[in-house]
Structure 1
């Protein structure tokens, strides 16, 4: 098996983000945490993931500050996994993946889950990238600029 290379020191923010959340199990765990899943057994049942794999992924996400553990809210001996502020910051990334999947991976009329506004039940609007002046930007209207290293 090929050893995974750490991207934690890469100069690309996408590479560093993938170093933390780049495998599919981690993203599905984060997705489920946004949907209110908190217990090991709930993640395991919902995802169908092997217990050892789930344990490794939960531990890694906690070590990287995406999840934190807390005593079970019902007072039992179990612990719960809760999104941290860093983890909650992934919400737009999860929504972007969801919307991309809706646009490209379903046949017309094929059933799938949808994201709705909790207040009124309406579908959530499509994500758009906006310039600082509010203009909607397409992929070809942006560029990556390498930042200069800070001295001192």
Structure 2
């Protein structure tokens, strides 16, 4: 069996984040948890993933403090809830680039007014809109 590369000791926050939730099954489990799935069977039906893979991913998400087991099933922790902007960003990127024009897809709507969400933006501390060209990473020596 191939040993998985680990990034949990990297100095890069992106690498450590990917280590915790970077595989597609884990992100889709988190997505489904935001959509209301709680029980093993609900995740399995939604994803169509093999039970052994689902068990391993759920266990890892619990071990990483993203989900917790509760009497009603799996629930997002505060750490898991903090992934909401990540899921929204992936969804909005997918809406823009993963579908042909006019191709139907699911939508994330504001419960209050049933309108689509405004596209996520990255802002500086002073409120300016930023692009990647406006930022730099200060790496550790």
TM class by shorter chain equals over 0.9
Q: Tell which has more relative contact order, 1 or 2 (C-alpha 8 A, sep 6+).
A: 2
SS at match of 1:81: strand
Separation in 2, partners of 1:90, 1:63: 16
> Moved runs in structure 1, 4+ residues, more than 2 A?
none
- Give 1:101's match in structure 2, choosing from 94, 99, 110: 94
SS at match of 2:69: strand
Q: Which moved more, 1:58-67 or 1:138-147?
A: 138-147
- Give 1:140's match in structure 2, choosing from 130, 133, 138: 133
Separation in 2, partners of 1:126, 1:143: 23
Partner of 1:11: 11
SS at match of 1:55: helix
Count of matched residue pairs: 141
Separation in 2, partners of 1:28, 1:115: 15
> Structure 2 unaligned runs (5+)?
none
Q: Which structure has the larger Rg?
A: 1
> Structure 1 unaligned runs (5+)?
73-79
RMSD: 1.1
Separation in 1, partners of 2:6, 2:43: 26
* TM-score when normalising by structure 1: 0.90
- Deviation track 1:29-76 (CA, whole Å, cap 9, x = no partner) reads 00000000000000000100111110111011001100000112xxxx
* TM-score when normalising by structure 2: 0.97
Match runs of 1:122-141 below 5 Å: 122-141=115-134
Match runs of 1:1-152 below 5 Å: 1-72=1-72, 80-146=73-139
Separation in 1, partners of 2:103, 2:129: 29
Aligned-residue offset at 1:2: 2.5
Separation in 1, partners of 2:130, 2:5: 33
